[in-house]
């Protein structure tokens, strides 16, 4: 064997050892799936806007165009992920959870999310008021319709379709059904897999808040999506059936979007009041659910105890610290780019928005997942 052949053989042996070492691939493959899904979604949005330039019946007017393009992107991404599901080497899961038990867990999960999320929002908003900060959503003029759009019922239908159909199906398929089992099948603890997928899910929801210079809104949005994502991950692991987290995701989004529509005009204010009354009922129920199932029930249930006993630090802890650091660095650079773009052309356009989301997803997913897993093997 020549020296060159010996070096090639050594490299092949090292690659085989890396492939066989589950800690090396815990994050790598799920990261590629997240990047691929982001790329598909971004490509669909980009194609929509290009076609809209030449096809008269397609809307190219602000928030309406964003609604239609996002819904199309969600559906196409979900179809692509579903078609590739059997080829992604995700852990095989049991989908035979009894229907009534799963629905009961779904209702309790909705209550738990509302209870914890609203209490956290109250604390954060009080802190922001003390500091003189005003949290605002970054989705204004991107996904949230205005009062002038309500006259067309189709806009309202698409608005809810984005929130309660497209987003729950595509995001639950990606972050719960694919990423969690892929991490588990590569040797990661179940709770660590939930935390890691939840962090990626939460970070994907706050880029517009940061790009708009709204730090308080970004923190609030991150909190709500992290709590929601973690609860959805736990529900998925307990039931191993995607329909239940989809239902929870759809319900939570429907509540939020209904309250938003109710705030647009006085004639619809009763919608916000109804959601407020519903939250008033769900908050104490949710807190009781969290205390019971989070602290007392695990001592009685083997399934809950197994989930709770998974390590909460280690790969998930180091991944979370690294993700947050990379996330802040990326958005600092994007904020500088935002200022430069505004100075050059006087405004942001949809293509910059698309480019920003693409860069964020690729860098956070690839660097975060693969760097942390490789560092743990050294």
Name every residue whose Cβ is closer than 8 Å to that of residue 177 and which is 6 or more positions away in sequence. 85, 90, 236, 242
Question: In the prediction, which pLDDT does 354 show?
Answer: 56
Q: Tokens representing 2?
A: 């020549």
Backbone angles phi, psi at 274, to 5 degrees: -65, -45
Task: Give the pTM.
Answer: 0.80
Residue 68 pLDDT > 50, yes or no? yes
Tell me: the pLDDT tens digits for 330-367? Answer: 555 655 665 665 565 555 555 555 555 555 555 555 55
Residue 176 pLDDT > 70, yes or no? yes
Answer for the pair 357, 42: CB distance below 8 angstroms, yes or no.
yes
Q: Tokens representing 214?
A: 């709204």
Q: Look at 223-232, 257-266, 294-303, 349-358 and tell me which has the smallest mean pLDDT.
A: 349-358
Rounded to whole angstroms, the Cα distance separating 205 from 357 reads 10
Q: Look at 19-23, 28-32, 121-125 and tell me which has the smallest mean pLDDT.
A: 19-23
Answer for the pair 38, 357: CB distance below 8 angstroms, yes or no.
yes
Quote the percentage of the chain above a pLDDT of 90.
Answer: 32
The pairs formed by 275-281 with CB atoms below 8 angstroms and a separation of 24 or more are 279/114, 279/118, 279/255
Choose between 56 and 3: higher pLDDT: 56
Choose between 294 and 111: higher pLDDT: 111
Per DSSP, the three-state class of 140 is: strand
Kindly indicate the confidence band of residue 23, based on its pLDDT and cuts at 50, 70 and 90.
Answer: very low
Residue 231, CA distances (Å) to 1, 117, 289 in order:
56, 11, 12
Tell me: the pLDDT tens digits for 71-100? Answer: 999 999 999 999 888 787 777 776 666 677
Nearest of 231, 246, 289 to residue 74 by alpha carbon = 246
Mean pLDDT rounded to a whole number for the chain: 77
Rounded to whole angstroms, the Cα distance separating 329 from 31 reads 19
Question: In the prediction, which pLDDT does 310 show?
Answer: 55
Domain boundaries, the chain: 26-377
Question: In the prediction, which pLDDT does 376 show?
Answer: 45
């Amino acid at each position: 064997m020549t020296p060159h052949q010996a070096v090639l053989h050594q490299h092949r042996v090292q690659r085989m050892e890396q492939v066989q070492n589950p800690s090396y691939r815990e994050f790598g493959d799920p990261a590629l799936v997240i990047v691929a899904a982001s790329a598909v979604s971004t490509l669909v949005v980009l194609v929509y806007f290009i076609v809209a330039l030449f096809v008269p019946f397609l809307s190219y007017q602000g928030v309406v165009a964003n609604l239609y393009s996002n819904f199309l992107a969600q559906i196409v991404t979900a179809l692509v992920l579903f078609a590739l599901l059997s080829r992604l080497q995700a852990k095989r899961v049991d989908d035979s959870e009894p229907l009534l038990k799963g629905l009961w867990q779904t209702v309790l999960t909705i209550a738990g999310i509302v209870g914890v999320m609203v209490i956290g929002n109250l604390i954060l908003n009080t802190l922001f008021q003390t500091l003189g900060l005003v949290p605002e959503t970054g989705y204004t003029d991107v996904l949230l319709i205005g009062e002038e759009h309500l006259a067309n019922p189709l806009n309202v239908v698409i608005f809810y379709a984005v929130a309660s159909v497209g987003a729950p199906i595509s995001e639950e398929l990606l972050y719960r059904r694919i990423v969690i089992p892929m991490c588990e099948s590569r040797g990661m603890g179940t709770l660590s897999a939930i935390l890691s997928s939840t962090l990626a899910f939460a970070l994907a929801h706050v880029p517009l808040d940061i790009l708009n210079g709204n730090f308080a809104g970004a923190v609030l949005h991150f909190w709500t999506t992290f709590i929601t994502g973690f609860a959805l991950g736990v529900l998925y692991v307990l039931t191993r059936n995607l329909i239940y987290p989809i239902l929870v995701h759809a319900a939570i989004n429907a509540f939020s979007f209904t309250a938003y529509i109710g705030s647009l005009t006085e004639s619809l204010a009763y919608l916000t009041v109804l959601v407020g009354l519903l939250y008033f009922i769900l908050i104490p129920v949710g807190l009781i659910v969290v205390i019971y199932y989070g602290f007392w029930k695990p001592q009685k249930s083997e399934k809950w105890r197994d989930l709770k006993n998974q390590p909460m630090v280690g790969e998930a802890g180091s991944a979370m610290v690294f993700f947050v650091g990379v996330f802040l660095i990326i958005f600092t650079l994007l904020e500088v780019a935002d200022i430069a773009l505004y100075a050059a052309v006087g405004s942001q356009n949809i293509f910059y928005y698309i480019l920003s989301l693409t860069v964020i997803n690729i860098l956070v997913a690839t660097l975060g997942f693969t760097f942390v897993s490789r560092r743990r093997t050294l």
